Structure 1
Amino acid sequence: MSTAPRLAAPLSKGDRIGVVTVSAPEPAADPAIFDRGIAALAARGFEPVLGTHVSSRAGYRAGTSAELLDDFHSMIADETIAGVVFAGGGKSANRLLSGLDFPLIAAHPKAIVGVSDPSLILNAITAHTGLVTFHGPSVMWDWAQNGPAETAEHFTALLSGRPSAARIDAPLTWTRAGAAEGDLVAGCLSSLRCLLGTPWEPVWDGALLVIEDAFKSTEVLDQALTHFRDCGVLDRIAGLIVGEPVGCEPTAGITVADMVDEVCQDYAWPLAHGLPYGHTPLKVTLPIGASARMDADAEHPLTITSPWTADRKETR
């Protein structure tokens, strides 16, 4: 489904940020880490508001689909909540796709931020509503970990709409140099795979696809990327950027980068590796659904070229 871009208002210090869990019960498993992440988000100037089931546990999920959807939709409908951040990750966020209230989300555009498994929810929302969503730091893995200051700084700059945040200077390694521009589709490869063939599949035509993954072997990621190829996705995109894999061991001496280059060898679009985003401690925040340009010869190898918030101000 293709729809016109919809932009949320930029975030400001003092804004109330809803925190919900949509997959694994990570806050319940590590409450001290979760509390530390909430404190870090507050120290950045925001007011965290916790979902009812954010720290619940129901087996390998944080709650039933109805409970988790109610938490999320309540944050979306609450006019005092400026944005929503997913607490962590997991492997079951796709259980919520059939229950997402897309008209409600479209009627209340706000910043929605997540990483890993919830990246499939971000891309489904963008595909169905046109709302630009944000692939960025989670409470458990980023705000709680006292990681590189640049991670929080880019999140704050991008979500507040600063034009300077559009210029991303990551030292990419180019397998195929060149330039391409398109709307960003960004997420964890194995999670995005859950959208193939579903009503929530992203718009691939002319997209810049940005992928990453963690704690999987090269062989397993080969299977996933080959599935994208065989579904025709790689025939439709304009360019591919691969993030830094985390804990992804080589298989028979073949690295993730080697495998990606081989699977993608018959395509002409530009291909680059090494973007710090996703599961890496140092990460940039990416606006899914906004237009961006990748260019091997440019001063900034990745630049966001369209608005990603409803207005953009250099200072907040």
Structure 2
Amino acid sequence: MSTAARLAAPVSKGDRIGIVTLSAPEPAAQSDVFARGVQALAGLGYEPVVGAHATGRSGYRAGTADELLDDFHQMIADPSIAAIMCAGGGRSSNRLLVGLDLPLIAMNPKLIVGVSDPSLLLTAITSRTGLVTLHGPSVMWDLADPDAPSETAEHFTAMLSGQSTAARVDTPLTWARPGSAEGPLIAGCLSSLRCLLGTPWEPRWNGVILAVEDAFKPTDLLDQTFTHFRDAGVLDKIAGLVVGESVGCEPTAGITVGDMIEDLSREYGWPLAQGLPYGHTPRKFTLPVGAMLRMDSSAEHPLTFVSPWVTAP
């Protein structure tokens, strides 16, 4: 990961936020849900701008790689767009990696928000440009949910605007291995981040705090994924591990995801915390990928971002 963070400007109420679909055609499949999410974003005080292909469908994707990249790059290049938000998730956003215009992104820094499958794009962009991105809510799954906990939108808007109070992640954690560490954050869906291993977009793992979560997969399948991270040398390099709450991840032979990660992590000395609500959980914190995170099991606020994630107002 780049040691020199590149920061976007904070996003204020009234600013325009571009909405893109980078993988599955969820807005096309559930147009009423998507419309409700767009309306909710407007209700938070922002002006939504929907990408040309965000509501399209091309098989199991919203469009061709060129179409989806064109939407994304247009939002990046448009000076009237203050931030970019992903509509939802999917399984194929890594199709876009080879076409990412990294110089364009670096020259036009703005907050990019994604979750689940697009988290691999956030990590790739942060790793190759230094731009701090936001692992946060989606238009489809979070903003569109009328029963979503209010804390999700509150922390999201606080992160967008750069409020200092948002740096404290106030939630109880279970410490499988107490301790403290500090480093730049990499956060994402475990099975999505796996797509970066061995590619030109793989982060430099040395000294990072790694936060992982996943959803709707059994423990034995996630064991295969996490073992791949171990065997690729990732666990030898990180400074700490934070495991998110799993959603719909059934135990295999009575073994939970948390049990499996603890078992595979026994030989390492870094601190290990479990139970962070982010990613696929209804109540979620928005996490700035690339910002410096301090984790400390003995602190009043065990997870605190100690570097800015946006420029000063």
Matched, 1:200 2:201: yes
1:173 aligns with: 174
Partner of 1:295: 296
Shift of 1:2: 2.8
Number of matched pairs: 312
Aligned residue number for residue 53 of structure 2: 53
Quick one: distance in 2 between partners of 1:64 and 1:169?
Answer: 40
Could you tell me which residue of structure 1 aligns to residue 6 of structure 2? 6
The answer on whether the counterparts of 2:134 and 2:288 sit within 8 Å (CA) in structure 1 is yes
Rounded to whole Å, the distance in 2 between the matches of 1:20 and 1:149 is: 24
What is residue 24 of structure 1 aligned with on the other side?
24
Letter matched to residue 45 of structure 1: G
Whole-angstrom CA distance in 1 between matches of 2:114 and 2:168 = 21
**1:159-202 superposed Cα distances (whole Å, 9 cap, x missing partner):** 10010000111100000000000000000000000000000011
CA–CA distance in structure 2, aligned partners of residues 251 and 280 of structure 1:
21
Amino acid at match of 2:194: R
- Deviation (angstroms), 1:3: 4.9
* 1:129 aligned partner: 129
> Is the partner of 2:60 in helix, strand or coil?
coil
Correspondence 1:111-260 to 2 at 5 A: 111-146=111-146, 147-260=148-261
C-alpha distance in 1, partners of 2:310/2:64?
A: 32
- Partner letter of residue 9 of structure 1? A
Native 8 Å contact 1:206 1:237 kept in 2: yes
Counterpart of 2:120 in 1: which secondary structure? helix
Distance 1:114 1:166 in 2: 19
Alignment-mate amino acid for residue 130 of structure 2:
G
Matches of 2:135 and 2:75, distance apart in 1:
18
Identity percentage of aligned residues:
70
1:101 is displaced (CA, Å) by: 0.1
Partner residue, 1:44: 44
Q: Is the 8 A contact 1:246 1:280 kept in 2?
A: yes
**Is the 1:157–1:165 Cα contact (8 Å) retained in structure 2?**
yes
Per-residue Cα deviation, 1:53-99 (whole angstroms, up to 9, x for no partner): 00000000000000000000000000000000000000000000000
How much has 1:4 moved relative to structure 2? 1.6
**SS class of match (2:75):** helix
CA distance in 2, matches of 1:210, 1:189: 9
Q: Which residue of 1 aligns with 2:284?
A: 283
AA at the equivalent of 1:30: Q
What letter is aligned with 1:20? Answer: V
Letter in 1 for 2:22: V
State TM-score, norm by structure 1. 0.98
Q: Distance in 2 between matches of 1:264 and 1:123?
A: 23
- Stretches of structure 1 that go unaligned for 5 or more consecutive residues are none
Give the match's secondary structure for 1:168: coil
Question: Is the 8 Å Cα contact of residues 55 and 62 (structure 1) preserved in structure 2?
Answer: yes
Instruction: Give me the whole-angstrom Cα distance separating, in 1, the residues matched to 2:56 and 2:304.
Output: 39
Which residue number in structure 2 is paired with residue 87 of structure 1? Answer: 87
Q: Which range moved further: 197-206 or 111-120?
A: 197-206
What TM-score results when the alignment is normalised by the length of structure 2? 0.99
Q: Which amino acid in structure 2 is aligned with residue 17 of structure 1?
A: I
What letter corresponds to residue 13 of structure 1 in structure 2?
A: K
Secondary structure of the residue aligned to 2:140 is: coil
Pairwise mapping of residues 93-104 of structure 1 onto structure 2 (< 5 A)? 93-104=93-104
* Two-structure CA RMSD over aligned residues (Å): 0.7
Provide the C-alpha distance between the structure 1 equivalents of 2:255 and 2:117, rounded to a whole number of angstroms: 25
Contact 1:3 1:128 (8 Å CA) reproduced: no
For the 8 Å contact 2:115–2:135, the answer to whether it is kept is yes
